[in-house]
Amino acid sequence: MTERGFDAEAIEGAKSQYDVRADGRLVFSKQSEGRFPEHDEILSALRA
């Protein structure tokens, strides 16, 4: 998926795991936050 200049793909992880990584850095972790991210929250993290 490409949006606003970012390429994204889903990679299967461990059960209940939902991490978002960009250039090797963790930008969101469901395990740490206790919830799924909002769309704009991920886009903001990718721009940082």
SS3 sequence, the chain?
Answer: CEECCEECCCCCCCCCCCEEEECCEEEEEHHHHCCCCCHHHHHHHHHC
pLDDT at 39 (0 to 100): 87
pLDDT at 17 over 70: yes
Least confident of 2-6, 7-11, 16-20, 29-33: 2-6
- Parse the chain into domains and list their residue ranges: 2-47
pLDDT at 33 (0 to 100): 93
pLDDT band, very low/low/confident/very high, at 1 (cuts 50, 70, 90): low
pLDDT band, very low/low/confident/very high, at 38 (cuts 50, 70, 90): very high
Radius of gyration of the chain (CA): 11
Backbone φ, ψ for residue 20 (5° rounding): -115, 125
